[in-house]
C-alpha cells in the first residue's frame, strides 16, 4: 500500500462539473485536505455527489483544473475507495452479504484471481468492524436499509485505499447503524486516511475538520467555524430574511432529489 498522502487530496481551480450538456457545479475553486475528515454539505441537487464523482475520477471536469493526489483524478483511482449513495446490483442475482464484501477485494485479488489468506482475513475483519458477520449468508435484499449501508461500507473498507469517499453514509439510518458508520469515519481519519463524506446534517458537518458548502457551486470551504456561518448558510440554502436567526432548517434527509 502506498504511503499516506500529505498536503491536499484535491485542488480544484475554476472547475465546472456536470453531465453532457448539464452543468451541475458552476466554475469555482475548492481544496480538500489529505489525512483529514471533510464534510460536503448543501441542499438536494447542490452538486455534492457530482463533486465526489469528480474526486473519484468517475467524471472529468467540463472546464478548469482538478488535481487529485497531485495528478489527474483518473490516476488516483486505485488509492480511492468510493461508497456510493445508491449502489444497485443486478436484479435476480441473489448476492450474499459476504459475497458483496468480498467484491471489495477484487481490485487487489483480481476478478478471477485466487483469494489468499490475507484477502479472507481482511474480509472477516471488516465484517466484524461493521457488525455484519452474523448476516454473512443473508441476501442483500433481505436486509434493512441500515444493515445494507453497513455492508456497502464494509465493501469499501475491504478495498485497499488511503482515501475513503462516502456519499450520504448516515442519511436515513437507524441509530445503531449510524453510530457504527460514524465510528468508522472517525477511526479511518485517526488511522491517517483521508475521509470525505456528504451530508445533510449541520452537526455532522460541524464535527468534520474541513467543510465544503455547496449550492450549484462551492459557496465556501475551510474549517467548519469559518464556513458554517449564518450568512453562508443563508446563501447556500436560499433563505430569505423571514427566517429567524438560529432557526435554519436544512432539507429533509429522507427527501430524494
Ligand atoms: P446532490 O448530491 O447535492 O443532491 P447531485 O450532484 O446529485 O446533487 O446533482 C447536481 C445536479 O446535477 C442536479 O441538478 C442533478 O439533477 C444533476 N445530475 C446529477 N446526476 C446527473 C446525471 N447523471 N445526468 C444529468 N444530470 C445529473
Ligand atoms: Mg447526492
In a domain, 36, yes or no: yes
Place 253 in a pLDDT band, splitting at 50, 70 and 90.
very low
Q: How far apart are CA 171 and CA 192, in angstroms?
A: 25
Q: How many domains are there within the chain?
A: 1
| CB 85, CB 255: distance < 8 Å | no
- Cell digits of residue 111: 476478478
Out of 40-54, 114-128, 211-225, pick the least confident.
Answer: 114-128
Candidates 47, 61, 238: which one to mutate for ligand 1, based on the most atoms within 8 Å of Cβ?
A: 47
Q: What spacing in Å lies between the alpha carbon of 83 and ligand 2's midpoint?
A: 12
Ligand nearest to the CA of 167: 2
Position 248 in a domain:
no
> In this structure, is residue 242 part of a structural domain?
no
The set of cell numbers assigned to 156 is: 469499501
For residue 90, what pLDDT band results from cuts at 50, 70 and 90? low
**Gyration radius from the chain CA atoms:** 18
- pLDDT tens digits, 206-220: 999 999 999 999 999
**Number of C-beta neighbours around residue 178 at 10 A:** 19
Find the DSSP H helices in 25-174: 48-55, 73-76, 97-102, 106-109, 117-129, 145-158
Residue 92 placed within a domain = yes
Mean pLDDT of 74-95: 82
- pLDDT value at position 91? 66
Which protein residue's CA is at the shortest distance from atom 1 of ligand 1? Answer: 45
How big, in percent rounded to 5, are the helix, strand and coil portions of the chain?
Answer: 35, 25, 40
- Is the residue at 250 inside a domain? no
Supply the residue whose CA is at minimum distance from atom 23 of ligand 1: 19
Three-state DSSP at 143 gives coil
Tell me, using a 6 A CB cutoff, whether residue 1 lines ligand 1.
no
Is 162 inside a domain boundary? yes
8-state DSSP, 134: G
119 within some domain? yes
Q: Is the CB of 44 under 6 A from ligand 1?
A: yes
Q: Which domain holds residue 47?
A: 8-237
CATH number of the domain bearing residue 142: 3.40.50.300
Domain-embedded: residue 255: no
Q: What is the pLDDT of residues 187-202, one digit of tens each?
A: 999 999 999 999 989 9
Region of 45 on the Ramachandran plot (φ > 0 left; ψ -120 to 50 alpha; else beta): left
Quick: pLDDT tens for 60-81: 999 999 999 999 999 999 999 9
Q: What is the DSSP code (8-state) at residue 169?
A: T
Amino acid at each position: 500500500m502506498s504511503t499516506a498522502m500529505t498536503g491536499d487530496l484535491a485542488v480544484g481551480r475554476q472547475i465546472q462539473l456536470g453531465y453532457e450538456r448539464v452543468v451541475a457545479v458552476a466554475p469555482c475553486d475548492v481544496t480538500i485536505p489529505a489525512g483529514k475528515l471533510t464534510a460536503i454539505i448543501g441542499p438536494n441537487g447542490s452538486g455534492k455527489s457530482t463533486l465526489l464523482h469528480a474526486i473519484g475520477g468517475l467524471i472529468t471536469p467540463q472546464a478548469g483544473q482538478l488535481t487529485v493526489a497531485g495528478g489527474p483524478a483518473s490516476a488516483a483511482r486505485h488509492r480511492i475507495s468510493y461508497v456510493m449513495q445508491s449502489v444497485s446490483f443486478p436484479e435476480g442475482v441473489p448476492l450474499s452479504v459476504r459475497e458483496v464484501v468480498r467484491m471489495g477485494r477484487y481490485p487487489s485479488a483480481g476478478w478471477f484471481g485466487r483469494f489468499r489468506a490475507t484477502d479472507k482475513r481482511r474480509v472477516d475483519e471488516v465484517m466484524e468492524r461493521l457488525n455484519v458477520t452474523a448476516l454473512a449468508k443473508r441476501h442483500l435484499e433481505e436486509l434493512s436499509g441500515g444493515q445494507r449501508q453497513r455492508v456497502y461500507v464494509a465493501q469499501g473498507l475491504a478495498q485497499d485505499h488511503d482515501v475513503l469517499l462516502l456519499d450520504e453514509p448516515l442519511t436515513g439510518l437507524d441509530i445503531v447503524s449510524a453510530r457504527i458508520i460514524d465510528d468508522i469515519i472517525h477511526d479511518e481519519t485517526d488511522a491517517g486516511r483521508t475521509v470525505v463524506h456528504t451530508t445533510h446534517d449541520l452537526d455532522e458537518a460541524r464535527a468534520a475538520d474541513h467543510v465544503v458548502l455547496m449550492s450549484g457551486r462551492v459557496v465556501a470551504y475551510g474549517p467548519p467555524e469559518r464556513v458554517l456561518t449564518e450568512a453562508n448558510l443563508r446563501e447556500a440554502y436560499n433563505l430569505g430574511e423571514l427566517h429567524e436567526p438560529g432557526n435554519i432548517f436544512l432539507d429533509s434527509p429522507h427527501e430524494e432529489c
